């Protein structure tokens, strides 16, 4: 695939479960759920934020631990819990508010709730290697990494390397 699509990116939009995590839900005896994030994905997100990239998260979940992780990574555009809206509705609202052009957006999703957004022709649709079949079929780029195992870093690093920004400290 051509690196040209990566060079146009100024904004990343990520799902959480199956993208930033491996999709597992760990349940404690108290009934509390927790997620596991890959430290290298977090490092890449921090680098992207420092370099001036905009990062947005749209997820159906609404766990406070996830919100705190995203705050620690300095992600400001966070949409958790759908409130009855589809991801497409949330995405369109954010898109109108943000003023970002879809040609500059890389979206990474892994499952059917991401399908409508990823089907939009102007954005760069990406997914982890272990995404569901329907998402694998429509993705413009499939990371060789699984969700929660470096897929987020893969796409961020490719964008930043393509612009000569990855090794700038």
Residue set of the binding site for Mg(2+) = 15, 110
With contact defined as beta carbons under 8 Å apart, do 123 and 105 qualify?
A: yes
Binding site, by residue number, is 15, 17, 110
Cα–Cα distance list, 87 to 43, 60, 71, 143, 145 (Å): 26, 8, 21, 22, 24
Binding site for substrate, by residue number, is 17
| Ranges assigned E (strand) in 1-140 | 11-14, 26-27, 33-34, 54-59, 77-80, 105-108, 124-127
């Amino acid at each position: 695939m051509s690196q040209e699509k990566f060079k146009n990116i100024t904004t990343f939009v990520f799902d959480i479960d199956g993208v930033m995590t491996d999709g597992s839900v760990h349940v404690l005896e108290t009934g509390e759920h927790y997620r596991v994030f890959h430290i290298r994905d977090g490092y890449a997100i921090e680098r992207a934020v420092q370099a001036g990239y905009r990062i947005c998260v749209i997820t159906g979940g609404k766990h406070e631990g996830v919100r705190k992780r995203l705050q620690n990574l300095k992600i400001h555009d966070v949409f958790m819990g759908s409130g009855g809206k589809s991801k497409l509705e949330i995405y369109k609202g954010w898109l109108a508010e943000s003023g970002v052009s879809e040609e500059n957006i890389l979206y990474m999703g892994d499952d059917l709730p991401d399908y409508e957004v990823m089907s939009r022709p102007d954005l760069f649709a990406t997914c982890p290697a272990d995404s569901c079949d329907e998402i694998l079929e429509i993705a413009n780029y499939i990371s060789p990494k699984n969700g929660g195992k470096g897929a987020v870093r893969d796409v961020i690093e490719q964008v930043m390397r393509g612009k000569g920004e990855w090794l700038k400290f």
